[in-house]
Amino acid sequence: MKIGIIGSGVVAQTLGKAWLGQGQDVALGTRDPNKLDDKKMFATSLREWQAQTENRGRILSFQDAAAYGEILVNATSGTVSLDALRLAGANKVGGKVLVEVANELDASKGMPPRALAAQDRCLAEKIQAEFPNLKVVKTLNTVNAFVMVNPKGLAGGDHTVFVSGNDAGAKAQVKELLQGFGWADILDLGDISTARGPEMYMAMWIRLWGATGTGNLNMKVQR
Protein backbone atom coordinates (compact mmCIF):
# COMPACT_ATOMS: atom_id res chain seq x y z
CA MET A 1 0.00 0.00 0.00
CA LYS A 2 1.13 3.57 -0.68
CA ILE A 3 1.36 5.58 2.55
CA GLY A 4 1.75 9.35 2.37
CA ILE A 5 3.12 10.80 5.60
CA ILE A 6 2.67 14.53 6.11
CA GLY A 7 5.74 15.44 8.15
CA SER A 8 9.42 14.52 8.16
CA GLY A 9 10.53 14.61 11.80
CA VAL A 10 11.28 11.76 14.16
CA VAL A 11 7.72 10.40 14.17
CA ALA A 12 7.37 10.54 10.38
CA GLN A 13 10.81 9.00 9.85
CA THR A 14 10.24 6.21 12.38
CA LEU A 15 6.79 5.27 11.07
CA GLY A 16 8.02 5.50 7.49
CA LYS A 17 11.03 3.28 8.05
CA ALA A 18 8.92 0.70 9.89
CA TRP A 19 6.35 0.54 7.09
CA LEU A 20 9.08 0.32 4.45
CA GLY A 21 10.44 -2.62 6.42
CA GLN A 22 7.05 -4.28 6.04
CA GLY A 23 7.17 -3.80 2.28
CA GLN A 24 4.80 -0.85 2.08
CA ASP A 25 5.53 2.11 -0.19
CA VAL A 26 6.15 5.31 1.74
CA ALA A 27 6.56 8.99 0.93
CA LEU A 28 7.40 11.64 3.51
CA GLY A 29 5.91 15.05 2.77
CA THR A 30 8.02 18.01 3.79
CA ARG A 31 7.86 21.77 3.33
CA ASP A 32 10.85 21.87 0.97
CA PRO A 33 11.79 18.45 -0.42
CA ASN A 34 15.09 19.82 -1.71
CA LYS A 35 16.42 20.45 1.80
CA LEU A 36 17.66 16.92 2.32
CA ASP A 37 20.62 17.81 4.53
CA ASP A 38 18.88 19.82 7.26
CA LYS A 39 19.42 18.42 10.72
CA LYS A 40 16.11 17.33 12.28
CA MET A 41 15.42 17.45 16.02
CA PHE A 42 15.70 13.94 17.58
CA ALA A 43 16.11 12.54 14.05
CA THR A 44 18.48 12.20 11.12
CA SER A 45 18.59 14.34 7.99
CA LEU A 46 16.28 13.22 5.23
CA ARG A 47 19.26 12.21 3.11
CA GLU A 48 20.44 9.89 5.87
CA TRP A 49 16.91 8.55 6.26
CA GLN A 50 16.74 7.76 2.57
CA ALA A 51 20.09 5.98 2.77
CA GLN A 52 18.85 3.95 5.77
CA THR A 53 15.85 2.85 3.74
CA GLU A 54 18.04 1.92 0.76
CA ASN A 55 16.51 4.85 -1.09
CA ARG A 56 13.09 3.18 -1.14
CA GLY A 57 11.55 6.01 0.91
CA ARG A 58 10.43 8.99 -1.16
CA ILE A 59 10.75 12.61 -0.11
CA LEU A 60 8.02 14.77 -1.63
CA SER A 61 6.30 18.09 -1.02
CA PHE A 62 3.32 18.09 1.36
CA GLN A 63 1.04 18.23 -1.67
CA ASP A 64 2.71 15.42 -3.60
CA ALA A 65 2.80 13.19 -0.52
CA ALA A 66 -0.92 13.77 0.06
CA ALA A 67 -1.64 12.88 -3.56
CA TYR A 68 0.70 9.84 -3.44
CA GLY A 69 -0.73 8.10 -0.39
CA GLU A 70 -3.69 5.75 -0.58
CA ILE A 71 -3.69 6.32 3.16
CA LEU A 72 -2.36 9.49 4.78
CA VAL A 73 -0.67 10.15 8.13
CA ASN A 74 -0.45 13.43 9.99
CA ALA A 75 2.94 13.27 11.71
CA THR A 76 3.61 17.00 11.86
CA SER A 77 3.99 18.93 15.08
CA GLY A 78 0.45 19.53 16.30
CA THR A 79 0.81 23.29 16.43
CA VAL A 80 1.41 23.43 12.65
CA SER A 81 -0.74 20.48 11.52
CA LEU A 82 -3.63 22.51 10.13
CA ASP A 83 -1.24 24.69 8.11
CA ALA A 84 0.60 21.65 6.79
CA LEU A 85 -2.65 19.96 5.75
CA ARG A 86 -3.76 23.15 4.01
CA LEU A 87 -0.45 23.28 2.12
CA ALA A 88 -0.95 19.60 1.31
CA GLY A 89 -4.30 20.41 -0.30
CA ALA A 90 -5.88 17.79 1.93
CA ASN A 91 -9.33 19.10 1.01
CA LYS A 92 -8.75 17.93 -2.58
CA VAL A 93 -7.61 14.34 -2.03
CA GLY A 94 -11.06 12.80 -1.68
CA GLY A 95 -12.16 10.41 1.08
CA LYS A 96 -8.76 9.16 2.20
CA VAL A 97 -8.08 7.86 5.70
CA LEU A 98 -5.91 10.23 7.75
CA VAL A 99 -4.03 8.53 10.58
CA GLU A 100 -3.70 11.44 13.00
CA VAL A 101 -0.87 10.98 15.51
CA ALA A 102 0.02 14.58 16.41
CA ASN A 103 0.07 16.46 19.73
CA GLU A 104 -0.11 20.20 20.29
CA LEU A 105 2.86 20.90 22.54
CA ASP A 106 4.28 24.29 23.49
CA ALA A 107 7.92 24.42 24.55
CA SER A 108 8.10 28.21 24.31
CA LYS A 109 7.96 28.52 28.13
CA GLY A 110 10.69 25.92 28.63
CA MET A 111 10.70 22.23 29.40
CA PRO A 112 8.71 20.19 30.04
CA PRO A 113 6.53 21.30 27.14
CA ARG A 114 2.93 22.23 27.89
CA ALA A 115 0.16 20.07 26.42
CA LEU A 116 -2.26 22.56 24.89
CA ALA A 117 -5.16 20.15 24.46
CA ALA A 118 -8.31 21.00 26.41
CA GLN A 119 -12.03 20.29 26.25
CA ASP A 120 -12.51 22.98 23.64
CA ARG A 121 -9.20 22.46 21.91
CA CYS A 122 -8.85 19.07 20.28
CA LEU A 123 -6.63 18.88 17.22
CA ALA A 124 -8.24 15.78 15.71
CA GLU A 125 -11.69 17.38 15.93
CA LYS A 126 -10.40 20.57 14.33
CA ILE A 127 -8.84 18.61 11.46
CA GLN A 128 -12.01 16.57 10.91
CA ALA A 129 -14.11 19.78 10.92
CA GLU A 130 -11.89 21.57 8.41
CA PHE A 131 -11.40 18.52 6.15
CA PRO A 132 -14.75 16.70 6.18
CA ASN A 133 -13.64 14.68 3.14
CA LEU A 134 -10.95 12.91 5.21
CA LYS A 135 -11.70 9.95 7.47
CA VAL A 136 -9.67 11.05 10.48
CA VAL A 137 -8.56 8.40 12.97
CA LYS A 138 -6.68 9.59 16.04
CA THR A 139 -4.20 7.04 17.31
CA LEU A 140 -0.64 6.51 18.59
CA ASN A 141 -0.30 10.06 20.00
CA THR A 142 -0.05 8.58 23.52
CA VAL A 143 3.36 6.97 22.92
CA ASN A 144 6.70 8.06 21.54
CA ALA A 145 7.89 7.09 18.07
CA PHE A 146 9.88 4.08 19.23
CA VAL A 147 6.98 2.55 21.13
CA MET A 148 4.62 3.31 18.20
CA VAL A 149 6.42 0.91 15.88
CA ASN A 150 7.75 -1.59 18.43
CA PRO A 151 5.18 -2.03 21.21
CA LYS A 152 6.61 -5.48 22.05
CA GLY A 153 9.85 -3.76 23.06
CA LEU A 154 8.03 -2.47 26.15
CA ALA A 155 6.67 -4.94 28.74
CA GLY A 156 6.28 -7.57 26.04
CA GLY A 157 3.60 -5.46 24.39
CA ASP A 158 1.26 -5.63 27.39
CA HIS A 159 -0.09 -2.10 27.08
CA THR A 160 -2.84 -0.23 25.30
CA VAL A 161 -3.27 1.94 22.21
CA PHE A 162 -6.41 3.87 21.31
CA VAL A 163 -8.38 4.74 18.18
CA SER A 164 -10.97 7.52 17.84
CA GLY A 165 -12.85 8.30 14.66
CA ASN A 166 -16.24 8.65 13.01
CA ASP A 167 -15.76 6.01 10.30
CA ALA A 168 -15.83 2.34 11.33
CA GLY A 169 -14.15 1.18 8.14
CA ALA A 170 -11.31 3.65 8.57
CA LYS A 171 -10.80 2.51 12.16
CA ALA A 172 -10.68 -1.11 11.00
CA GLN A 173 -7.98 -0.22 8.47
CA VAL A 174 -5.97 1.62 11.11
CA LYS A 175 -6.30 -1.32 13.50
CA GLU A 176 -4.69 -3.52 10.85
CA LEU A 177 -1.78 -1.10 10.56
CA LEU A 178 -1.42 -1.12 14.36
CA GLN A 179 -1.50 -4.91 14.46
CA GLY A 180 1.22 -4.86 11.81
CA PHE A 181 3.47 -3.11 14.36
CA GLY A 182 2.55 -5.70 16.99
CA TRP A 183 -0.12 -3.86 18.92
CA ALA A 184 -2.41 -6.35 20.68
CA ASP A 185 -4.58 -4.24 23.01
CA ILE A 186 -6.34 -1.72 20.74
CA LEU A 187 -9.19 0.12 22.45
CA ASP A 188 -11.79 1.91 20.32
CA LEU A 189 -12.79 5.01 22.29
CA GLY A 190 -15.60 6.06 19.93
CA ASP A 191 -16.10 8.97 17.57
CA ILE A 192 -13.57 11.70 16.82
CA SER A 193 -14.67 13.78 19.84
CA THR A 194 -13.22 11.08 22.09
CA ALA A 195 -9.76 12.13 20.86
CA ARG A 196 -9.96 14.79 23.58
CA GLY A 197 -9.08 12.00 26.00
CA PRO A 198 -5.77 10.86 24.48
CA GLU A 199 -4.86 14.44 23.57
CA MET A 200 -5.36 15.74 27.14
CA TYR A 201 -3.56 12.65 28.45
CA MET A 202 -0.41 14.12 26.91
CA ALA A 203 -0.16 16.38 30.00
CA MET A 204 0.01 13.17 32.05
CA TRP A 205 2.48 11.51 29.70
CA ILE A 206 4.86 14.44 30.09
CA ARG A 207 4.79 13.98 33.90
CA LEU A 208 5.24 10.22 33.60
CA TRP A 209 8.27 10.88 31.40
CA GLY A 210 9.62 13.32 33.99
CA ALA A 211 9.03 10.98 36.92
CA THR A 212 10.36 7.80 35.34
CA GLY A 213 13.16 9.33 33.30
CA THR A 214 12.18 7.44 30.18
CA GLY A 215 9.89 8.17 27.26
CA ASN A 216 9.69 4.46 26.55
CA LEU A 217 6.55 4.04 28.59
CA ASN A 218 2.86 3.52 28.09
CA MET A 219 -0.27 2.75 30.00
CA LYS A 220 -1.95 -0.61 30.18
CA VAL A 221 -5.66 -0.09 30.80
CA GLN A 222 -6.59 -2.59 33.50
CA ARG A 223 -10.35 -3.26 33.39
Q: Where does this chain bind a copy of itself (CB under 8 A)?
A: 114-119, 154-155, 158-159, 164, 187-190, 194, 196-198, 200-201, 203-208, 210-212, 214, 216-223
Q: Is the backbone peptide bond immediately before 113 cis, with ω within 30 degrees of 0?
A: no
Give the nearest distance from C-beta 146 to a copy of itself in angstroms: 13
Residue 19 to residue 71: CA distance in whole angstroms: 12
b/e map of 133-162 (b: 16 or more CB within 10 Å)? Answer: ebbbbbbbbbbbbebbbebeebeebebbbb
Give the nearest distance from C-beta 69 to a copy of itself in angstroms: 28
Give the nearest distance from C-beta 139 to a copy of itself in angstroms: 13
Nearer to a copy of itself, 172 or 187 (CB): 187
| Cβ-contact 37, 47 below 8 angstroms | yes
- Give the total residue count for the chain: 223
Give the nearest distance from C-beta 171 to a copy of itself in angstroms: 12
Which of 6, 191, 19 is closest to 93 using CA atoms?
6
Q: Which stretches does DSSP call E strand in 55-207?
A: 58-61, 71-74, 97-100, 105-106, 114-115, 135-139, 160-165, 185-190
Residue 25 to residue 4: CA distance in whole angstroms: 9
Give the nearest distance from C-beta 221 to a copy of itself in angstroms: 6
Nearer to a copy of itself, 20 or 143 (CB): 143
